[in-house]
Chain A
Amino acid sequence: MAGATQTNLITGDTSQTNAVAAGAVALAALLFALSLAALFEIVTISDPVAGVPIVTLLGLILVTLGGSVIVFGVGSYLDYVETQPSPSAGLVAAAVFSGVWFTVGGLVASQTFGLSGLAWLSVALLTGAGAFALTALPPEDIGSTLPAGALTLLTGLVFVTGTIGPAWVWELRFEQQASFTAEFVIPTATLLAALLSGWAAAKAYGGFGARGRHMGAYVLIYLNASSIVGVLFVLVAFTTTKGIPGLLTGAELGSGPDVTLFGITFGLPFSVPFVMNGVALLNDFQGVLPAIVGTIWLVIGAVLFAVPLGVGAAIFLTEYAERGRLTQAVEVATNGLWSTPSIVFGLFGFAFLIPRFGGNKSLISGMLTLSFMLLPLVLITSREAILAVPDEYRDASAALGVSKWQTIRSVVIPAALPGVVTGVILGVGRIAGETAPILLTMTGGTFIPGGQTVDVIGGFRFTATPPFVANPELLQATTALPFQLYALVRAGVGLGDNVTNPEQFQWATALILLVVVLSFYAVGICARYYFRRRLKHE
């Protein structure tokens, strides 16, 4: 090795070996992404790439990765590579590896060689103990690379030789006829091997020791975090690709319907029938406009009911009430309410609210039911936000002789608003997609003609008798996106012949639901950003 003049601070010429280790880490990340993609069926493992099936390709990469990890570990042990390994890889790593190898040994012994009972158990125990000893006893460079590298190598060889190929099925021989198919087993095994080898390669890249452990943990955490983002991305992309065709059915530029906003009527320059029509016999294209409007009004109504109540209760509990039985009771009740299943809220609305609002399912019963669900979260988060306002503000205000209520109104609430808004965002995210409560309290027919789209603002009427205001629209059954989706998937009723492709229609509904919920998120996040800005710079 060229770095003979190395000091403690500056390591010598290790750039080549570092590059090898970094390449191994990159390979592991690639495998991780590939196996996730295969798990979500974005790529099919039997598809050939350049004439080679993907499963063979996966196997080849795994063999390369496992081999390079082992070579690096052994090279470090034999001092061909300069590293600072600890005396042992540690008990946690040893326990993990022994668990993995116990499973592998047991499965191979019982399934491949058909050993029975004690025989396969002893084989499994033997491999598990062997992996434990191999990890814990030798220095870190051997202990953390060999078990991971060997596992990866083995997995890769199994894939390359076709022992487990695309057509492979593992019958579990349960009564339920359950089986593991290659589509599931291959990506999962690859994922596991990539994680372990990636960790080992990252340790090697860091030269083992403290820095190596840091790199290993970094890679694990990074892969986890990115897989969360990846899952979200896959979910949104999946729904979007499936939903776009249905959404754009009949969409065209140039000849939009007339829209009346604040008394001004104007023609839209485009037309997307799916979000602008209801369902009617004579429509060229069917749409979900009533459900969209219903969902939006539902959320607005629930927020209008729940936020003043929740914030008011939070102010009382934090600023006025003495800590005692009452506040504890409220706390327990709040937490209980938050964990109450939504169908119970629905039943409550069905049995309690509906008889009090005319006996029919109605928009207002749905709003109230959802506001009861939203209430505890708004209360909990508002309490936290108000408690987090520094006492110095309250002291400063009191020292100026300003009364408590004015202090709360002008200092405490503005400072707590970003936190309150965060709570409302989270709560809206939950209630906007809730199906069970509105199924029981609000939704009438699944498909509503566009002309019956709920018009809350236009529905207000003044009457000669108390209560002087009436709104028949609020007392009418309507529909909402989650319910409509449920009805479409569950029953598929009512579409008739006008929808040529019901599946597209369903996916488009799902996409619109996603878009509506994410729009509420966006509005909430903008509001929070605005209030935070006002608090920090003006």
Chain B
Amino acid sequence: MSETTQTTEQTGIESDQPLETTSGETEEQVREKWREYKFDGRTKLAVEDLDVHYGDDHALKGVSIEIPENSVTALIGPSGCGKSTFLRCLNRMNDRIRSARIDGSVRLDGQEIYQEGVNLVELRKRVGMVFQSPNPFPKSIRENIAYGPEKHGDINTGLLARLLGRADEESREQLVERCLRDAALWDEVKDRLGDNALGLSGGQQQRLCIARCLSVDPEVILMDEPASALDPIATAKIEDLIEELSEEYTVVIVTHNMQQAARISDQTAVFLTGGELVEYGNTDQVFEDPQSERVEDYITGKFG
């Protein structure tokens, strides 16, 4: 109990004084160290000095991180630490919040996404997103999957196309099957593709949302606590799915569940209260030998 109190106090004065770390170094030194953390593979997303303000609220403070291709990167931390904000910066979903102000740089394959003339449609096709609570459209399963490609004009199933005989019914069926197979949902719903998606169970709905996200051929999939509203069995299915997806896609996942992060992720980034990225590195290393004392407290459950 006293330790918890102490930690809280430390948190309160953290911004003024560097804190002690497990290795006796200052937190600043630790941070320098993990900033040079090198992973195998190519950098997919490079974030530099990202600051986000919601009105007067400073939600993210100078976050810099590099996310490698075809891997799972977990973002963990207590509530309100800015993980979700960070995630939503990666495909500019924060643009939809009027009070948000974003400074800094995010590069996707070396291209700055926060500059004039970025095609948001193209960006969001390449960086897809799955939300915390399953949010399928109140349409049929088939329409849910085909929605994105249809709106982008990649497949034509409109009335005019049907009348002119140009409808791509077949390619739509193939797309629906491929996405549902990739999301491990095909066997459960193949006989009722015309049913309303809201009739599926919560876990099925979330896998449908993942399938819908896959339908526009993204390169990066952002997941905002995708399993937090699901029961353990559905969660296990989603976790298996994420591990499979990481072979082809770059997955960035926000989670509250530290066991989940430890199970599925290759890299882990720890955000702590105040919107700071405190530690980032190989998942095993972060969980077994955290460099910062605050991170160790958080991971061992003393704080947060």
Contact = CB atoms under 8 A, between A and B. Distances in A.
Contacts of A399: 91, 93, 124, 128-129, 131, 213
B147 A400 contact: yes
B133 A414 contact: no
B125 to A, nearest CB: 4
Contacts of A210: none
Interface in A181-223: none
Interface in A376-402: 390, 392-393, 395-402
B236 interface: no
Contacts of B136: 396
A400 B137 contact: no
B138 A401 contact: no
B30 interface: no
Interface string A410-425: 1100110000000000
A74 to B, nearest CB: 58
Contacts of A403: 121, 151
A402 B131 CA distance: 16
B189 interface: no
Interface stretch (B65-73, B190-198, B257-265): B190-198
A537 interface: yes
Contacts, number: 76
A535 interface: yes
Contacts of A537: 195-196, 199
B135 interface: yes
Interface SS, A side: helix
Contacts of B91: 399
Nearest to B142: A538
Contacts of B199: 537
A415 B196 CA distance: 13
A400 to B, nearest CB: 4
B93 A401 contact: no
A490 interface: no
B138 A396 contact: no
Contacts of B151: 400, 402-403, 406, 410
Contact of A390 (B135, B139, B152): B135
Contacts of A535: 138, 196
Given A401-B120, A401-B152, A402-B148, A538 B194 contact: yes
Nearest to B148: A400
A523 B205 CA distance: 34
A538 B138 CA distance: 9
Interface string B109-133: 0000000000011111100110101
Question: Looking at B125, B128, B137, B209, which has the most chain A CB atoms within 10 Å of its CB?
Answer: B137
Given A400-B216, A401-B124, A536-B196, 11 more contacts: A392-B131, A395-B96, A396-B209, A399-B124, A399-B131, A400-B151, A400-B213, A401-B121, A403-B151, A410-B151, A415-B138
26 contacts: A392-B133, A393-B137, A395-B96, A395-B131, A396-B209, A397-B137, A398-B96, A398-B124, A399-B91, A399-B93, A399-B124, A399-B128, A399-B213, A401-B121, A401-B123, A401-B148, A401-B152, A402-B121, A402-B151, A402-B152, A403-B121, A414-B138, A414-B139, A536-B138, A537-B196, A537-B199
